[in-house]
Amino acid sequence: MFGKVDTSAIAGIDGRPVIAEADFGNGLPSFDMVGDLGNEVKEARERVRSALKNSGIIVPSGRLTVNLSPAHLRKSGNSFDLPIAVAILVSIGVVPQESVLDDSFIGELALDGRLRPVNGTLSHVLCARDQGKKACIVPKENVKEASVIRNIKIYGLSDLSEVLTFLLNPESFTPEDYREIDRNLPDNNLDFIDVKGQEALKRAAMIASSGMHGMLMVGPPGSGKTLTAKRIPTILPPMTEEEQIECSKIHSVAGLLDAEEGLIRMRPFRSPHHTVSGSGLIGGGAFPKPGELSLSHNGVLFLDELGEFHKQTLDLLRIPLEDQKVTVSRVNGSYTFPTRVMLVCAMNPCKCGYFPDRNKCHCSEAEVRKYLSHISKPLLDRIDMLVEVPRVSAEALSGAKEGDPSETLRERVIRAWKIQKERYMNKGILFNSQLQGGEIAKFCFLYPEERDLLKEVFEKMDLSARAHDRILKVARTIADLDGKEDISVTHLSEAVSYRSLDRKLWGGAL
Amino acid sequence: MNREKKWFFLSQLIRTGREKIETMLAYTGGINELWEYPADSLYDTGAELTLDQISEYQELHDEEKINLLFEKMEGAGIRYYSREHEQFPKRLLEIADPPLGIFVKGRLPEENRPAVAIIGSRKCSVYGKEMSFFFGRELAKAGVTIVSGMALGVDGYAMRGSLAGQGGNISANLRGRNEPETGNQKWNAVTTVGVLGGGVDLCYPRENIGLYDELSKGHCILSERPLGYYPHPYDFPIRNRLISALSDVVAVIEAAEYSGTSITVERAIEQNKEVFALPGRVGDRMSDGCNFLLKNGAQVLTAPEDILQVLGVKVGKDTKNAPKASLNPEEKTVFELFQNEPLSMDDILEKSGFPLSVLPEILVRLEIKGLIRKADMAGYVKVR
């Protein structure tokens, strides 16, 4: 007898439909599995056999063949155990074929028949819905994650015998309630109020967040670079429903989703260690998994100690940052991961970290320059704002006034986002930082007074031509924060101050 | 072969120290005699040459080879002056251990022009850097030749300052010194002298290649080492005696307590040169050397005039107090906050009380007016 059951496989971050077929017939007792299977899928044979036996289901002795189709799609992951078991149940006649036609199954089986959670539930459920399935059966632990998808019934079951009961008598089960997506920011204990002093840095962080500009902080250790970076997600506007699902999909595939929470509600903040490999950063592996860059999609990618990262690793970021997606090509297909991130970097001014404080820093100027030149120029060109972070003395810290809380800053950022959204309606972009070429001249128009100032600044301060566009984009954001239609001298001057580092450190004569 | 080339030959001997060559010269009785002296009996000169040094001598003791090297040098636009040459700087003859000869790229500095050596640490602070540049520029403006070692840090910045300061009416500021008459043609003086520890055809340190190029055009790079010689650490103290010898006054900007700078200062004292030191804050590592010198009798350096007075150079009015650009009240408030120390945006914010949104505008305006500028990683500093 023959049985087939629908399920899905993960390719990149999306699910692709897969059919699990089982055929049972006479012959020498055997259990074979085919269909371009990864190792963990091949091992399903042992798990399924034991799980069936321990759930009280006797598989008659005979020739059993399982096929996962389409045969050309490489299957990996642990989600095929349940569909294979159900297909076998159909093939040996325990469950009628009709009762599984409208369902999709995912789940890993324990030897005793219990269902274990799987990665990528969101992608599986979305795939099942798009195939027109009416219900999706998932392990109980994954039910929170799955139930945010509309237009499909979700059943969270705990073991194989419960699945059997469900299949024989579906009416006795009620599907999980659809869970409304909570757009409010979850509580978290990070707040900008904790950053004492450093007014200039805090303002820079707000401007960068408003236009999703890349930002590089350069300053000695203990000056509050990391402290500030960690708080940037708290001033970014809450994620929309689509953004939450998109982020959660990526995290789910990578196995990083918190089962209790179900969805990622806070904009992600990822801070990979500087020893991260290229594929760890942008995604990769034999079965491509999202890297840190994609995990921070819609959020913040924070590269601390930028000077310590491998040059080759950093250079990999260049194209994904521009395209806002990364494509990983492998023998069995290419996979695309979204990478719309706000890049925030921090680094010390030199190896010991204290330059130019000569009482502490013993680095020669050549060493300082070498340390800074480690960062490739093309990457720097994708960073709009360079912020100098001075050291804060203990007395300044104790005397510093309390700054604005994240909430106040967030409101201002939300306003700036809204202005940009309206301005770039139907233009295919969302933020000032995404402006390119002719759009810059159009949206960052300068009146003669401002144009003269910029000209004078360029002559006097010896800025590179590349700095020009960056200054205009940042000036546009500052004007938006200010709620002004036109870029004024004040806005422009401030934008200039966020480029003043590169002429000194990267390309200055001294 | 003329005497110059024979001296040139001696200058090529890099393995043999100058003292041993002096011994040989004294034994044989002169440069011609030494050249004629059989190269296989150098032991008898009492110079205690090693085998290595003898083989180097014998190898180079070849008229053809020396001619070839000499032509090659001239082809590169570099000149050699032996200590007998009439243009050889008189100041170098005044010291106890004058070099056998010097290699010059560019032009020789004028003999009768006052000269100041500005020296200090390679790892100077922002303050040291600003001060080096300031003194270099102001002294050059007043018509003084700046001598330094072209090293990173103080040396390099002082020389850059000197290059920035040249071009003023130099001869008018000199008292009792005979400047060459040039008629209507604008007389372009050598204001900057770089003394290298290696050959003048090598830019060491290579970070200063821009400075090196600038100096080779119309200024002076000199060394007693032959071309192609890459300097070793022990070459610099030897070189330092030339820096102090070529100048009338040695000014120390910033130095740690025990450093190469102290060697130069010792040599300067031996050579009877005036030593100035820029006072620094007690406890500042980079000023320990200066404060030590001051404690031991160096003159206090607080303004270029201190040095000019000792040199007997009249201070022209135009070198002081450039006309102040007109400032609006806000700009004035901010500008007046600047003292010696660099100020970060947060410092200025706190001290001026202006909101963060308008401060950059004021700073950019002050910067455009040339009153302040960005310091490396340390906020803004006042331009001197």
**Which chain B residues touch A200 with a CB distance below 8 Å?**
344-346, 349, 356
Average pLDDT over residues B55-74: 93
- Chain A hits for B364, CB-CB cut-off 8 Å, are 453, 457, 493, 496-497
Interchain CB contact of A346 with B (< 8 Å):
no
- What pLDDT, on a 0 to 100 scale, did the predictor assign at position B316? 60
Average pLDDT over residues A353-368: 80
When divided into structural domains, chain B yields a total of 3
What gap in Å lies between CA B242 and CA B268, rounded to an integer?
9
Distance from CA of A126 to the nearest CA of B (A): 47
Q: Which helix (H) or strand (E) holds B346?
A: helix B345-352
B83 within some domain: no
Residue B62 and residue B164 in one domain: no
Alpha helices in A316-464 (DSSP H): 318-323, 365-373, 377-380, 394-399, 406-423, 438-443, 448-461
Token code pair at residue B70: 């000499």
The model's pTM: 0.78
pLDDT attached to residue B182? 42
Is the pLDDT higher at B72 or at A466?
B72
For residue B207, which residues of chain A lie inside 8 Å, CB to CB?
Answer: 365-366, 369
Mean pLDDT for all residues in chain A: 89
What is residue A247's predicted lDDT score, i.e. its pLDDT?
93
The minimum CA-CA distance between B370 and chain A, rounded to whole Å, is: 8
Please tell me whether residues B174 and B227 are part of one structural domain. Answer: yes
The listed range with the strongest mean pLDDT (B64-73, B173-182, B319-328) is: B64-73
**pLDDT band of B323, cuts 50, 70, 90:** low
Query: What mean pLDDT is predicted for residues A340-360?
Result: 87
Whether domain A211-401 has CATH 2.60.120.260: the reply is no
Beta-carbon separation of B286 and A359 below 8 A: yes
B249 and B121 fall within a common domain: yes
A296-310, A357-371, A410-424, B223-237: least confidently modelled range: A357-371
For residue B369, give how far its alpha carbon lies from the nearest alpha carbon of chain A (Å): 9
What pLDDT shows up at residue A501? 63
Contacts of A438 (CB under 8 A, 6+ apart): none
Q: Tell me the per-residue pLDDT of A107-138, one tens digit each, with 9 for 90 and over.
A: 999 999 999 999 999 999 999 999 999 999 99
Query: Residue A291 pLDDT > 90, yes or no?
Result: yes
Q: Which pLDDT score is estimated for A492? A: 93
Residue of B nearest to A359 (CA): B285
Chain A residues in contact with B357 by the CB 8 A cut-off are 203, 482, 490, 494
Q: Is residue B300 part of a domain?
A: yes
Same domain, B218 and B196: yes
> Where a domain ends, among B319, B349, B371?
B319
In a shared domain, residues B159 and B298 = yes
Give the closest of A363, A392, A493 to B361, CB-based: A493
Nearest-CA distance B235 → chain A (Å): 20
Q: Does A395 touch chain B (CB under 8 A)?
A: no
B82: in domain: no
Contact call for A199 and B356, based on CB within 8 A: yes
Please report, for the domain that includes residue B334, its CATH number.
1.10.10.10
Does one domain contain both B295 and B367?
no
Q: Do B164 and B235 fall within a single domain?
A: yes
Out of A355, A461, A482, the one facing B377 most closely (by C-beta) is A355
Query: Model confidence over A393-421: pLDDT tens digits?
Result: 777 777 777 778 999 999 999 999 999 99
Query: Is A358 within 8 Å of B128 when comparing Cβ atoms?
Result: yes
pLDDT at residue A427, rounded to an integer: 87
In this structure, the strands spanning A30-34 and A63-69 are parallel
Do residue A356 and residue B376 have CB atoms under 8 angstroms apart?
yes
Q: Do B356 and A203 lie within an 8 Å CB cutoff?
A: yes
Closest CB to A365: pick one of B153, B346, B347: B153
Q: Are residues B170 and B215 in the same domain?
A: yes
Residue-averaged pLDDT of chain B: 86
Can you give the pLDDT at residue B167? 52
In a domain, B36, yes or no: yes
Say yes or no: B129 and B273 in one domain. Answer: yes
Question: Domain ranges in chain A?
Answer: 2-172, 211-401
pLDDT digits (tens, 9 = 90+) for A425-437: 988 889 999 998 8
Q: Given this model, what pLDDT does residue A363 score?
A: 81
CATH architecture of A2-172: 2-Layer Sandwich (3.30)
DSSP B38-72: -GGGGGGGT----HHHHHHHHHH--HHHHHHHHHH
Whether B313 and B167 map to the same domain: the answer is yes
Asked if the C-beta of A490 comes within 8 angstroms of chain B's C-beta atoms, the answer is: yes
Mean pLDDT of A462-471: 80
The nearest CA of chain B is from the CA of A498 a distance in Å of 10
Confidence of residue B326 (pLDDT cuts 50, 70, 90): confident
Q: Does A496 touch chain B (CB under 8 A)?
A: yes
Lowest mean pLDDT among A461-475, B69-83, B104-118: A461-475
What is the pLDDT, as a whole number, of residue A323?
87
Taking the Cβ of residue A504 and every Cβ of chain B, the question of whether any pair is shorter than 8 Å is answered with: yes
Which letter does DSSP use for residue A307 in this model?
Answer: G
Last residue of a domain, one of B75, B103, B134: B75
Flag if B376 and A461 touch (Cβ within 8 Å). no
- Taking only residues 256 to 275 of chain A, the set having a beta carbon closer than 8 angstroms to any beta carbon of chain B reads none
Is B95 part of any domain? no
Asked if residue B368 has pLDDT above 80, the reply is: yes
Residues in B closer than 8 angstroms to A396, CB to CB, are 350
* CATH number of the structural domain spanning residue B290: 3.40.50.450
Q: Is residue B81 part of a domain?
A: no
| Residue indicated by tokens 């099942």 | A128
As a whole number, mean pLDDT of residues B93-111 equals 92
Does residue A316 register a pLDDT over 70? yes
pLDDT reported for residue A502: 63
- List pLDDT tens digits, range B24-39: 999 999 999 999 999 8
Q: Is A305 left (phi over 0), alpha (psi -120 to 50) or beta?
A: left
- pLDDT, residue A500, reads 66
Q: Where residue A80 falls among pLDDT bands split at 50, 70, 90? A: very high
Chain B residues lying within 8 Å of A355, measured CB to CB: 376-377
Q: Cα dist. B14→A43, B98, B203, B224 in Å?
A: 76, 16, 18, 10
Full residue range of the structural domain in which residue B300 is found: 115-319
pLDDT band at B169 (very low <50, low <70, confident <90, very high): very low
Please give the Cα distance from A107 to A111 (Å, whole number): 13
For the stretch B182-204, pLDDT in tens is 433 344 567 799 999 999 999 98
Q: Which of A185-194, B323-332, B355-364 has the lowest mean pLDDT?
A: B323-332
* Predicted confidence (pLDDT) at residue B317 exceeds the cutoff of 70: no
Do B338 and B214 share a domain, yes or no?
A: no
